[in-house]
């Protein structure tokens, strides 16, 4: 197995040519050119979803949007490796993972438009609502995985987090528990090189994948802009977990090609030359080159039409979201309302009545 400090696993070069690998080729032996074209379309669609989300924020239709441009392969390659009974815990940037889990665009938008705390039923899609608290979802994933093991199920939990989260105590605590109880969980770190405006080099003197072996968790560094390598590594980790061999750690080495969120300005801290270097490693362009080498020349047009249709659905769904009534704020705090919540609801209702406002 590859040492974490070695060059990241890569199966598809930036020029689109396959790179043989005896250890990991078997994990993607079923990915034909036609199947790769489907992964390509996934990436084109989620990039279009991303650009539409940014446009909606700039037009004042949503309050905030966390762009994922550049990280499409890390999310699509890993998410498409999962089974429907696996369970995903993410931060706020994984709209591509949500898309792969079957979350509709109409269910992605309520949280960003501020009309609901979450837009989907976690149990319907096997995906928890996005966690805004940095790194907290790694604890949730570990606990869920321990429950799967106790139930005798071979389902796996996956925690997606960024390089900045590795500085949080929650992530270390989750790995301690996961290793101690051999929990079937995958820690999937998308190292996009920036924790908001701080470079990863500030907090990590060695590759982030080097940290996991210290907890007794095997790890691997992967070219996060290579959708094939990400799928192969995730399938490897899933197999370990399902066989009862416990947690794995994947460091997807990628790059955030835009701001942290739409409230951020990366031109104040990021080197444009570094951005241009990563542009040459674009995850979508390299797959397109491979497909063209295999004679599939019309994939871009087909994928673009699908992406435009999905983006139109997203915009329409966002603009049609009804404004919540003021007292709905209290409806989903707990499964059953507590006396304290009921008292606060009553006090707020009285306040609205005093102002003559709609409840």
Which residues are tagged catalytic?
256, 260, 269
Q: Which of 184, 181, 191 is CA-nearest to residue 160?
A: 191
Alpha helices in the chain (DSSP H): 33-58, 72-79, 95-100, 105-113, 122-125, 136-151, 169-180, 227-242, 272-279, 283-293, 299-319, 339-355
| Alpha-carbon distances of 107 from 153, 159, 160, 176, rounded to whole Å | 28, 21, 20, 34
Q: Is the CA virtual torsion 221, 280, 292, 47 positive or negative? A: positive
Q: What are phi and psi of 123, to 5 degrees?
A: -80, -20
Question: 């898309």: which residue's tokens?
Answer: 99
In the three-class reduction of DSSP (H, G, I as helix; E, B as strand; rest coil), residue 124 is classed as helix
| Contact predicate 90/99, CB 8 Å | no
In the three-class reduction of DSSP (H, G, I as helix; E, B as strand; rest coil), residue 160 is classed as strand
């Amino acid at each position: 197995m590859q040492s974490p400090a070695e060059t990241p696993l890569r199966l598809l070069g930036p020029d689109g040519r396959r790179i043989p690998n005896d250890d990991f080729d078997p994990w993607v032996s079923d990915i034909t050119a036609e199947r790769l074209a489907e992964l390509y379309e996934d990436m084109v669609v989620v990039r279009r979803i991303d650009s539409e989300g940014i446009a909606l924020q700039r037009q004042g239709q949503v309050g905030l949007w966390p762009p994922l441009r550049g990280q499409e392969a890390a999310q699509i390659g890993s998410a498409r490796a999962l089974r429907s009974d696996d369970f995903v815990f993410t931060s706020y940037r994984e709209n591509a993972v949500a898309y792969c889990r079957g979350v509709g665009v109409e269910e992605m938008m309520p949280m960003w438009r501020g009309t609901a705390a979450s837009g989907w039923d976690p149990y319907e899609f096997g995906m928890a609502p996005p966690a805004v608290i940095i790194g907290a979802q790694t604890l949730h994933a570990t606990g869920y995985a321990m429950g799967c093991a106790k139930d005798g199920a071979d389902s796996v939990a996956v925690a997606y987090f960024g390089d900045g989260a590795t500085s949080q105590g929650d992530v270390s605590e989750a790995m301690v528990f996961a290793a101690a109880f051999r929990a079937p969980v995958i820690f999937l770190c998308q190292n996009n090189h920036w924790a908001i405006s701080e470079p990863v080099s500030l907090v990590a003197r060695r590759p982030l994948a080097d940290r996991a072996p210290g907890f007794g968790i095997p790890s691997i560094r992967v070219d996060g802009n290579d959708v094939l390598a990400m799928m192969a590594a995730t399938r490897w980790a899933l197999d370990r977990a399902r066989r009862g061999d416990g947690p794995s750690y994947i460091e997807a080495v990628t790059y955030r090609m835009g701001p942290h969120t739409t409230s951020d300005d990366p031109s104040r801290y990021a080197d444009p030359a570094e951005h241009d270097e990563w542009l040459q490693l674009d995850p979508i362009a390299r797959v397109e080159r491979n497909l063209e080498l295999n004679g599939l020349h019309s994939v871009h047009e087909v994928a673009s039409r699908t992406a435009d249709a999905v983006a139109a659905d997203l915009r329409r769904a966002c603009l049609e979201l009804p404004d919540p009534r003021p007292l709905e704020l209290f409806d989903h705090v707990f499964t059953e309302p507590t006396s304290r919540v009921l008292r606060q609801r009553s006090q707020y209702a009285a306040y609205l009545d005093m102002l003559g406002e709609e409840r």
